[in-house]
Amino acid sequence: MVGNEEPRKVRRSIAVIIPALDEEELIGAALASVDEASAYWAQAVAPGSAPETPAVVSVVVDGGSSDRTRELAAGAGATVLEVAPGRSSQMNAGAAAVTADVLVFLHADCRLPADGLAELDAALDLAPREAAWGRFDVRLEPPSPLLRLVAGAMNLRSRLTGIATGDQAIFVTAIAWELIGGFAAQPLMEDIEICRRLKLAVGQPLGLRAVVTSSSRRWQEHGALRTVASMWLYRALYALGVSPESLHRRYYGVSESVPGQESGLGGPLAPDDAEQGRRERVVTAPERRALIVFAREPIAGRVKMRLAAEIGELAALRVYRQLLTRTLRLAQRYRQRGGVAVILAGAGFDGAGELEGRASRLGFGWQEQRGGDLGARMHDAFERAFADGFEQVVLIGSDCPVMGVRELDSAFAALAASDAAINPAEDGGYALVALRRPLGALFEGISWGSDAVLAQTRQAALQAGVKLELLRQLWDVDRVADLQRWQAGHRAQR
């Protein structure tokens, strides 16, 4: 029985984002280092056996290379994106294209150490909170006595100041990424800026001793001492308030258009609300469609209780965070298509408030769930949405790993001819409910949490004369078997 086995570690998912432009000579080595670090980590977690999940994905974001960078990256098994040039926008685009617990930003002329991901994972296990970030030490290659001194000074400086450079492979947990909104849309000093914002939002970085190897071509081309002096000069000018655009023109002798901040979780920061305490924030859309996401505050022992009984509260919390982040990314992508507002409805705060912070930074509407049982809370959320003028409302939870754009499209489309639509769940409940008017009868007298939810809801609709359309059957993650099924799906998608 599972309950008699030693709980196994649930591996974090990691996305390594590599911005590139004409890097055919080095991209292969960078990707090979990621594969080696992934294999090392898999054996560190589960020696002698297959990993729990294919937890590492490499994403090369090409800025319009004229050489074979894209072809070589794709041949090495990486996901390849092509966007307008600009390292900030490239890295943001890569982050927006994946769902992962941790984002690692690796320059194309750098290589991860073999034990790098294992050390990163171990450091996050010991971090005081889920929102965390950090960097590796760096070594310049090919080395020289002077370049060894330069690398040592870089590592010492970042350890003392909490500011890292891009050559040190900055990593950020998904939660921390959401808090700061990604890289600023600027052509230079993007690494310094994101470190400043991460320090303010999260705290000091995790400084890993594992060493990233970085090409010393910059120092060789321009001279080590001259390059160091130039770097310090530009850092000082930036600290004094000189704009990144001016610094870029001065550094390269040309101007660069700065692409707009990419969409996704790397989009622009939502303005902070000066009002203190929790409040309801309403968002409307011209088309009068709303997507409500029901979620609970991520607190160990308060989420995924059935799963926690099998794998432990902290492991279950990590799974819940993965699912929640995936759902919020889906909601944001759907909103970006236009014509729908997103409202995050939270419960189970206990003085935390992480959900409200996510809603604010993602530009979602926000409300606390009100009511007794789940049915009362859903009915209240629908009533408030319709009172705000929405004419079609879809409500989803946060634990369905196969919920996608297709399901949301189908639900809204079904409301053109039906009063309500539901995506049944395999466990006898449902993963989505859509309404075009308040229908309290669908939420009364239901045995919530049982396998009779769907049958009772259909009976309630029949008795109330509600035209209910059943959509595609889905499933959610409640047990270890569900978790393994989700992980197997990740493997199949690689």
- Cα-based torsion angle of the residue sequence 290, 328, 99, 487 in order, rounded to the nearest 10 degrees: -90
DSSP assignment of 272-285 equals PP---S---B----
**More reliable by pLDDT, 478 or 225:** 478
The pLDDT of residue 360 is 79
* Lowest pLDDT segment from 94-98, 134-138, 250-254: 250-254
Specify whether the CB–CB gap between 410 and 310 falls below 8 A.
no
**More reliable by pLDDT, 348 or 231:** 348
**259: pLDDT strictly greater than 60:** no
The pLDDT of residue 488 is 76
* Total-model pTM: 0.56
**274: pLDDT strictly greater than 60:** no
Residue ranges covered by each domain of the chain:
2-252, 289-493
Query: Which of the four pLDDT bands, split at 50, 70 and 90, describes residue 258?
Result: very low
Q: Rounded to the nearest 5°, which phi and psi values hold at 115?
A: -95, 10
Query: Which of the four pLDDT bands, split at 50, 70 and 90, describes residue 487?
Result: confident
**7: pLDDT strictly greater than 60:** no
Query: Which of the four pLDDT bands, split at 50, 70 and 90, describes residue 51?
Result: very low
Q: What is the mean pLDDT of residues 208-231?
A: 78
Q: What is the mean pLDDT of residues 421-443?
A: 95
DSSP assignment of 425-482 equals BTTSSEEEEEESS--GGGGSS--TTSTTHHHHHHHHHHHHT--EEE---B----SHHH
Strands (DSSP E) found in 228-352: 289-296, 341-347
The pLDDT of residue 253 is 52
**254: pLDDT strictly greater than 80:** no
Strands (DSSP E) found in 67-145: 79-82, 102-105, 110-111, 133-141
What CA–CA distance (Å, rounded) separates 486 from 494?
13
The pLDDT of residue 4 is 43
Alpha carbon separation from 35 to 16, 54, 55, 338, 446 (Å, rounded) = 10, 11, 11, 38, 49
**33: pLDDT strictly greater than 90:** yes
Question: Over the stretch 361-416, which tens digit does the pLDDT of each residue have?
Answer: 788 899 999 998 999 999 999 999 999 999 999 999 999 999 999 999 999 999 99
**To which H or E segment does residue 144 belong?**
none
188 Cβ contact list (under 8 Å, min separation 6): 234, 238, 244, 245, 247, 248, 251
Q: What is the mean pLDDT of residues 311-326?
A: 86
Assess if CATH 3.90.550.10 describes domain 289-493: yes
Q: What is the mean pLDDT of residues 114-141?
A: 92
The pLDDT of residue 9 is 55
**454: pLDDT strictly greater than 90:** yes
The pLDDT of residue 142 is 85
* Of 105, 228, 221, the residue nearest 157 (C-alpha): 228
Return the percentage of the chain with pLDDT > 90, whole number. Answer: 52
- The pLDDT mean for the chain works out to 83
What CA–CA distance (Å, rounded) separates 14 from 29?
19
The pLDDT of residue 298 is 85
* Lowest pLDDT segment from 68-72, 222-226, 415-419: 222-226
Name the superfamily (CATH) of residues 2-252: Spore Coat Polysaccharide Biosynthesis Protein SpsA; Chain A (3.90.550.10)
The pLDDT of residue 294 is 96
Q: What is the mean pLDDT of residues 173-180?
A: 85
Return the percentage of the chain with pLDDT > 70, whole number. Answer: 82
The pLDDT of residue 271 is 32
Q: In angstroms, how far is CA 173 from the centroid of its own chain?
A: 8
Domains 2-252 and 289-493 share a fold: yes
DSSP assignment of 10-49 equals -PPPEEEEEEESS-TTTHHHHHHHHHHHHHHHHHHHSTTS
* Of 123, 122, 106, the residue nearest 165 (C-alpha): 106
Specify whether the CB–CB gap between 55 and 102 falls below 8 A.
no
3-class SS of residue 215: strand
**To which H or E segment does residue 490 belong?**
helix 480-493
**CA triple 456-460-461, angle to 5 deg:** 120
